[in-house]
Structure 1
Amino acid sequence: MATTTDDPARPPVRRRRPIPPGARLRPSRPLVRRSSRRRARSAEARRSALRRHGAIGAVLACYALAALIVPTATPAAVGDDWVYARSVEILLREGELRVLDLSVVTLLFQIVWGALFALLFGESFGVLRLSTVTMVGLGGWACYGLCRELGVDRGRSALGAAAYLFNPLGFVLAFSFMTDPHFAALLVVASLGYLRGLRPGPPDRRAEWALVGGSLAAASAFLVRQQGALIPLAVTVALLLARRLRADRAGAALFVRINAAPAVAIVGYYVWLFFVNGVPEQQGSFTLRIREAGWASSQLLIERMTFIETMYVGLFVLPIAAAALVGLGRLLDAPSALGWGIVFGWACVLIVGLMAFAAYGRDIPPMPRMPYVPQYLGPTGLGPSDLHGGRRWLVGWRALDWATGVCAVASLLFALAVCRQVARPARPDATRLGAGVLVAIGAWQAIGVLPPSFHFRDWIVSVDRYLLPLLPIGVCLMLWAVREVRLALPVGWTVVAAFAVFSVAGTRDFLVLQGATWELARTTTQQRGVPLTKLDGGASWGGYHLWEYSHRYAIPNQTPGGPWWIDLFAPVIDSSYVVASAPIGGYVAIDRVAHSAWLDDDAAYLYLLRRRDVATPP
C-alpha cells in the first residue's frame, strides 16, 4: 500500500495498490465465531464428563427414581424417628433447640438439617424423610469418591456406590428420620475428606482444605451420634502407626487440621447439654446399663457382637464378593503368612459363632440365623414390626439357612481379599495409607457399636441399624483389595439389582403399612371419638402423640402386661382399643381395612379391635 497526502496537517491516506492483471487471489479464511467455539468446547466437556461420570450418574438417577416409587411422603412416623421429628417441630414452632429425654444421641446437626428442609418444603414426616434420602444420596456420591481415592476404577466405584445405596438395610433406613443413615453418610463424607487430604506427595492448599472438610464432616457426624468422635481418633491412630504424624511443627499442624473441628463440636455440645438442655434421661440410663453389666455379661456381648459384625460385613459386601468368585485363585495365592493368620482367626470367629447361635434353636430371641439382630431387616421384610399382631414371615427357616451360609462365605472372601494386602512386598502404592486409615475407621466404628448394644444385651443382643457404618467401609475396602483382581462385574450388578428390587418393594410395603396404621388410628380418634389415651395404634403413634404428656405427669402404666412400647413411650394408654395386624385374644374386631403389599401374596388387613370389657364405642 502507498500513502499520499496533499495537506501536511492532515493524516496520510492509505491507498490500495491496484491488483496486477492475471494475479490469483487467495481465498479468505472462514470466520468462526467465538460463541460457536465456546459451544463446541462446552459440548465436548459435557461428553467427556458423561464418559467419566456416566456410571455414577446412572446409579444416583436410579436412586432418585426409587424415591419416586416408594411413598416417601407417607404421613406417618417410622420406628423411633418421631423422637427426632419432635425436636425439629419444637425448633420451628417454639424457636428452641431441644433434645428430648427419650433421645440417646447427640442429634443437633440432624435437627438443623431437617429444619432446613421443613422451612423449604413444609413441615411433615415426608419432608423429614426426604432430608434423609438426600443425605444418603450425598453419602453415595462420597462412597464413589472414596473408592476413587483408593485407586478403584470408575466402573467398580459406581458398583460400590450402588451396593451402598441399595443394600436393603441402608435403603429402608434412608426412608426414615432415624439418626443411623445420617451418621453413616457423614462418616463416608468425612472419610473422603481425610483420605484426599492425606494423599502422598508435597503438601498443597487443596489437601489442607480437604482435611478441614473431613474434619468438619466428622464434627457434624458427632453432632448426630456420639460415635462420630471415633472418626478423627481413628485417623490419628492410623497416622501414628504409619509414622506420618511426627512431633514437629508440620505434625502439629496436621493434628490440628484433623482434630480441631471435632474437638470444638464435642466440647461445645457437652457444655450446651449440661448447662442449657440438660442431660436426657435415656442417655443417663444407657451409661447405667453399661456399669451394671459386669465383666461376664460384657464379655458375652463382645463375643456375640464380634461374630454378628463379621456376618453383617458379608451381607454388606455380597455384590462384590459374588463378582470376585471368578478371581478366587488369585486371592488364594497372594496372602502372606500374617495374612493367612488373620484369615484363619476370622474363619474361627465365623465357625464358632455359627455353632453357638445355631445351638439356641428356634426359640427366639436371640435369632439363631441371619439376620441375627433383626429390626429393620428381618424375616418379615423391611422395617420394624412395632404393632399388635406383628407381621407375617415372608421366608422360612430354609431360606434363612441359605442366607446365613451365603453371608458367611462372603464375609470370608472379604477377609481373604483384605488380608492379601497385609505384609505384601514393598512397592510403590499411593493407596495403602488411605486403606490403612479406612481400616482404622472401620475398626473403631465396630467398637462403637458396643455401648448402645448394652441396652439389648439380655434380650435381642443388639439392633441391625447400629451396624450401618460398617456398610460403606466394608464395600470400599473390599473394592480396594480386589482392584487388581478380575471381577465378573455383570454378576455384581445382578446382585445389586436384586437388592434394589427387594429394597424398593420392601420399603414401599412398610411405608404403606405405616400409613394405613396411622390412617386407621386417625379415623378412630377423629370420627369414632375414641380418646387418644384409649387407643394403642402402635409404637410410633403412641409415642408421637402421648409420650410428652405421659412423661410430664409421670403417669404409671395403664396397660399391665402390654407391649414394650406402652411402658416406654405412652404408659397413659389403657388399650381399650387397639390397631392390630391380626385378631388378638380378649378383643373383638369392629373394623377391618385392607392395604396392599407387593412382597406378600396373601391379602393384608389391619383390624380395629375393642377390648371385650368395653361395652360400646364412645
Structure 2
Amino acid sequence: MMKFFKKYQEYFGLLLLWLLLILLINPVGDFPLNDDWCYGKSVKTLYEEGYLKLYNWGEMTLIAHVYWGYFFTEVFGFSFTVLRWSTLLMGFATIIGMYELFKLANLSRWAIFVGIVLCVMNPIFLSLSFSFMTDVPFMCVTIWAFFFFAKALQTDTWQPIFLAIFFCYWAFLIRQLAWVFPLVFLVTFVIVKPRNRKNLLKAFMPLLALMLFSLVFNYIMETNNLLQERYNSKFNLLIDSILNVNKVIIINAFSYFCRTMAYLGIFLVPIHLLYFKRYTFKGSVISAIVWTILITAFLIWSGKEIPSLDNIWIDFGVGPTTLADDGGSFTKSPEPTMPKWFWQIITTIGVFSSVTLVFHIRNMVLGVFRKRQVNSLVILSFVFFVVYLTPFLMVGVYDRYLLPLFPIAIVFLGANSTKVFKKSYQYATYGFLGILTWFSVCAVHDYLSWNRARWEVIHELTETVPKNQLQGGVEYVTWNFFSETQEKWWEQVTPTYTLVFKPAKHQKIVKKYKYSRWLFGEGVFYLVK
C-alpha cells in the first residue's frame, strides 16, 4: 500500500488540491447554469423516459456528454448537483492529463507545478468545472488525445496511436471539432518523420479512422432522426465565410486573434515572462514594444479590452450573469465592477506577455527552414494552435473555447527547456498565483452562491406566483418554457415579477435578497414588480 501511495503521490497531491477547491466553492444546488439546462434536459429525458433526445438549442454531436451524465444519474438519481459532480471528475482527469503531458514534455518539476496551478486556477476552467457545460469534458479528452499523439511521435509505436484514436472518438461524440486532432497529427508527422510507406500509414490512420467513425455516426443518427436541426450549423457558417470572405470577416478574424493572444498572455504571464529573455535576436526589444503598442491600441480603439470574449470571465468575476436587468447583462458581474483603465492595463500586460509566443514561433519556423532539429512536441503544439484556432477566428470565439490552448502553450514554450528559475522570479510567480487563486476561487464561489440563492427564491415564489408571471433569468425561462414546436416560446413569460441585480427607476422593489459574496461588494439581488 505504501509503495502504491509513493508511486502516485503526485496524483494524490493533485486530488487533495481539487477536493479542497470543491470544499471551498461548494458545487451543491439543483439548478442549471448557462447552457447546461439543455444538456441536463437531454439527460433527464434519457433517465426518466428511456430514450435519447437532443434538443434544438445547440449544434454539437453531444452524445458522449449526455451518456456521461446519464451514467451518474443512474447511480445517484437526476439533479444538476449530480451532473456537476460528473464534470468535476472530468476536471480532475484533465488535471492528471496536463500533469502527464508536462512530464512528457520534460518540463522541470517547478514548471510543472506552476503550469498546473495556472491552468486549474484559470477562472474559465474553474468555473466551467462546476457546471454541466461540455467545455471541460471536451478539454479533458483533447488533452489526452494530444498526449497520446505526442507519445506516438516520441516512441514511434502503434499503441499510443490507437489510444489517441479512442480519445478522438470520445471527443467527436462531444463536439465535431475533434476533426482537427487527427489532422494536426497528420501534418506534424509528415513534417518530423521520414516519408516512407510505414510512416504515411501511421500519419493517415487516425484521420481515416475518424472519417469512418463519423460516417457511421451520422448514418445512425439520421436514420433514427436524432440530429438537432442546427447540427453542423457552425461548420456550414465556416464554409460560407471561407467562400465569401470579405473585409468584415478579415477584421473580425484579426480582432479575435488579438484578443486570443491577450487572453493567453495574461493567464500565462509567469510562463511567458520566464522565457522572454531567451530571445536575444537583433531588434527583439523593439519588436516587443511595437507589437504591444499596435495590438493594445487596436483593442482599446475597438473597445475590445479583455475580458471581451463572452461569456465566462466577465467584469469583475465569472458568469454569465443572466438576470433580466442592466446589472446582469451577461458580461458584467454584480457591482462593483472595475474601471475601464484597469482593464486597459490588464490588456496591455496580456499583449506584452504574448510576445513570447510570437518570438517562439519565429524561432521554430527558422529552425525548420534551416533544418535544425526542432522538438516534435513544439511542432505538434504549433500545428494544433493553427488548425484548432483558425475555424474560430472565422466564425467567432468564446473564451471557453480557448481552454485547451493554455496547457498546450506551456508545452510549446517549455518543452525540454533547461531554464533555471531564480529565487526572486519564483517569489514573484507565487504572488501572481496567489492573486489568481484568490480571484478565481472567490469568483466561482460567488457565481454558485447567487445562483443558489436565486433558485431558492424562485422555488419559494412559484408556490404562489404562476411560473409564466415570473422572470427569473435566462436559465429559468429556458428550463421551464423552451419549446421546439412553438416559434416564440419565450413569449409565454409575461412577468409581473422580475429578479434583478440593479432595479431600474420605474421598478418597484418588492424584496431584497442577500447571498454570500467573497469578492468586493455586497451580495444582493432584488425582486421587483
TM-score, normalised to structure 2, is: 0.89
After superposition, give the CA deviation of every residue in 1:246-283 in whole Å (9 maximum; x if it has no partner). Answer: 35145324532x33542343223322343323542334
User: 2:385·2:405 contact (CA, 8 Å) conserved in 1?
Assistant: yes
Query: How many Å apart are 1:427 and its aligned residue?
Result: 10
CA distance, structure 2, for counterparts of residue 95 and residue 400 of structure 1: 49
CA distance, structure 2, for counterparts of residue 417 and residue 165 of structure 1: 24
After superposition, give the CA deviation of every residue in 1:60-99 in whole Å (9 maximum; x if it has no partner). Answer: 4212210111120122111111111111111112222222
User: 1:579·1:609 contact (CA, 8 Å) conserved in 2?
Assistant: yes
2:527 matched to which residue of 1?
608
Name the one with the larger helix percent: 2
CA distance, structure 2, for counterparts of residue 480 and residue 75 of structure 1: 43
User: 1:216·1:262 contact (CA, 8 Å) conserved in 2?
Assistant: no
CA distance, structure 1, for counterparts of residue 246 and residue 161 of structure 2: 39
Query: How many Å apart are 1:135 and its aligned residue?
Result: 0.9
User: 2:237·2:395 contact (CA, 8 Å) conserved in 1?
Assistant: no
Check 1:249–1:238 CA distance in 2 against 1; reply closer, same or farther (3 A cut): closer
**Letter aligned with residue 387 of structure 1:** L
User: 2:470·2:496 contact (CA, 8 Å) conserved in 1?
Assistant: yes
In the alignment, structure 1 residue 315 sits paired with structure 2 residue 266: yes
- The 5-angstrom pairing of residues 101-116 of structure 1 reads 101-116=56-71
2:438 matched to which residue of 1?
501
Q: In percent, how many aligned pairs have the same letter?
A: 20
Residues matched between the structures, number? 516
After superposition, give the CA deviation of every residue in 1:473-509 in whole Å (9 maximum; x if it has no partner). Answer: 1122222274435453343343223222211111000
Q: Secondary structure at the match of 2:511?
A: strand
- The 5-angstrom pairing of residues 340-489 of structure 1 reads 344=287, 350-360=292-302, 367-389=303-325, 390=328, 391-417=334-360, 419-424=362-367, 432-450=375-393, 452-453=395-396, 462-480=397-415, 482-486=417-421, 488-489=425-426
1:72 matched to which residue of 2?
27
Query: How many Å apart are 1:452 and its aligned residue?
Result: 4.8
1:534 matched to which residue of 2?
469
1:298 matched to which residue of 2?
249
CA distance, structure 2, for counterparts of residue 184 and residue 512 of structure 1: 25
User: 2:312·2:400 contact (CA, 8 Å) conserved in 1?
Assistant: yes
Query: How many Å apart are 1:294 and its aligned residue?
Result: 5.3
1:198 matched to which residue of 2?
153
After superposition, give the CA deviation of every residue in 1:136-172 in whole Å (9 maximum; x if it has no partner). Answer: 2111111111111112123322322222111111111
- The 5-angstrom pairing of residues 204-353 of structure 1 reads 207-244=157-194, 246-256=195-205, 258-283=206-231, 286=234, 291=240, 295-322=246-273, 324=274, 328-329=276-277, 331-333=278-280, 344=287, 350-353=292-295
CA distance, structure 1, for counterparts of residue 5 and residue 506 of structure 2: 68
After superposition, give the CA deviation of every residue in 1:161-213 in whole Å (9 maximum; x if it has no partner). Answer: 2221111111111111111222112111111111112215xx5xxx4222211
User: 1:317·1:478 contact (CA, 8 Å) conserved in 2?
Assistant: no
In the alignment, structure 1 residue 581 sits paired with structure 2 residue 518: no
Q: Any stretches of 5+ residues in structure 1 without a counterpart?
A: 1-41, 361-366, 454-461, 558-569, 611-618
After superposition, give the CA deviation of every residue in 1:324-363 in whole Å (9 maximum; x if it has no partner). Answer: 1xx654x133x599xx69x95x876654332223224xxx
CA distance, structure 2, for counterparts of residue 118 and residue 236 of structure 1: 38
CA distance, structure 2, for counterparts of residue 483 and residue 171 of structure 1: 30
User: 1:582·1:605 contact (CA, 8 Å) conserved in 2?
Assistant: no
Q: Secondary structure at the match of 2:60?
A: coil
Q: Secondary structure at the match of 1:587?
A: coil
Query: How many Å apart are 1:594 and its aligned residue?
Result: 1.2
CA distance, structure 2, for counterparts of residue 279 and residue 301 of structure 1: 30
User: 2:254·2:393 contact (CA, 8 Å) conserved in 1?
Assistant: no
User: 2:499·2:525 contact (CA, 8 Å) conserved in 1?
Assistant: yes
Q: Secondary structure at the match of 1:281?
A: coil
Name the larger-Rg structure. Answer: 1
Check 1:418–1:57 CA distance in 2 against 1; reply closer, same or farther (3 A cut): farther
CA distance, structure 1, for counterparts of residue 254 and residue 90 of structure 2: 33
Query: How many Å apart are 1:315 and its aligned residue?
Result: 2.3
CA distance, structure 1, for counterparts of residue 52 and residue 395 of structure 2: 24
Q: Secondary structure at the match of 2:320?
A: coil
Query: How many Å apart are 1:127 and its aligned residue?
Result: 1.3
